Chain A
Amino acid sequence: MSKRKPYVRSMDGWWKKNPYFVEYMIHESTALFVAAYVFILLVGVVRLGQGEAAWNAWLEALKSPLSVVCHLVLLAGAVYHTYSWFKILPITMPPVIVGGKKLAPEVLTGTALVVAAAAGLALLALVWRIAL
């Protein structure tokens, strides 16, 4: 075995030194919030498949104060995912040419955020319609 101990620069907290990378780490971490919510939803689907008693137990569990607080945190994470997803859309998407000119990034992000808000409200309206 080699006795060499080459110097390896530590990576601890490298991203904390630059606000750009702090934001990057926060927006990357939103995936964990989305995943956590989807797991809760997956449990709900499994419980729905098990019958009425199991489904009602799941609904009851969601009423606990801890669950509501967790969902407020998840909501913040999910909203930030939406915001950051569309903020980087001008970079991740091929350039949109309108009238021979490249569409400004702010216009693209702004339009996408309006579409996202409309999609959310449409979903709420649909749920409302099903409920009545």
Chain B
Amino acid sequence: MTKILKRSNAPIFWGLFGAGGMLSALFVPMMVFITGIAIPLGFLLPAGTMSYPKMLAFAQNFIGKGFIFAIISLSLWFAAHRVYHSLHEFGIHAGTGAKLLCYGIALAGTVVSASVLLRIGF
């Protein structure tokens, strides 16, 4: 046999989808509540919880940095994969263009968050 079977890249995207879906299912509801509702309304959490020095220290901490990056990047890969595969449901025959757009946005978010988090330092 001379023909080499081309390996599918689907498991990579499916893996990122699964990881992002799981991570966002576990943490995103509470994060929305904290950053979008409790902190702006001054409700439940102490004042200054998300002050600049505290959040800078959190983003400089190895675990904090990793958490922020994982939430942003993996959730975007999850959403991109789901939206890409849902196009079919609306009668859109998703091709290379749609694939590049969906996964491209996730890749852009990954690169932007990684570069900012690295620049913030350790």
Of the A-B pairs whose beta carbons lie under 8 Å apart in the complex, a sample of 23, sorted by A's number, is: A15-B89, A28-B89, A34-B28, A35-B76, A38-B71, A39-B109, A41-B35, A44-B35, A45-B116, A45-B117, A48-B116, A52-B52, A62-B36, A68-B36, A74-B36, A75-B32, A75-B37, A78-B32, A81-B28, A81-B29, A82-B25, A120-B27, A127-B34
Alpha-carbon distance A68/B34, docked complex (angstroms): 11
Quick one: closest B residue to A123, CB to CB? Answer: B30
Alpha-carbon distance A35/B71, docked complex (angstroms): 11
Chain B 75-103 residues near chain A, CB threshold 8 A:
75-76, 78-80, 82-83, 86, 89-91
Chain B residues closer than 8 Å to A120, beta-carbon distance: 26-27, 29-30
* Main SS at interface, chain A: helix
Q: A96 an interface residue at 8 Å Cβ cutoff?
A: no
Structural contact, A59 and B50, CB atoms closer than 8 A: yes
Q: Interface residues of A, CB < 8 Å — how many?
A: 52
Chain A residues closer than 8 Å to B75, beta-carbon distance: 34-35, 38
B58-80: CB near A (< 8 Å → 1, else 0) gives 11000000001001100110111
Besides the known contacts A38-B71, A68-B37, A75-B32, 11 further A-B residue pairs in the complex with CB atoms under 8 A apart:
A11-B90, A15-B89, A35-B80, A41-B35, A41-B68, A42-B72, A45-B59, A67-B40, A79-B29, A131-B48, A131-B49
Structural contact, A128 and B31, CB atoms closer than 8 A: no
Alpha-carbon distance A56/B53, docked complex (angstroms): 11
Interface centre among B26, B39, B50, B89 (most CB of A within 10 A): B26
Chain A 1-33 residues near chain B, CB threshold 8 A:
11, 15, 25, 28-29, 31-32
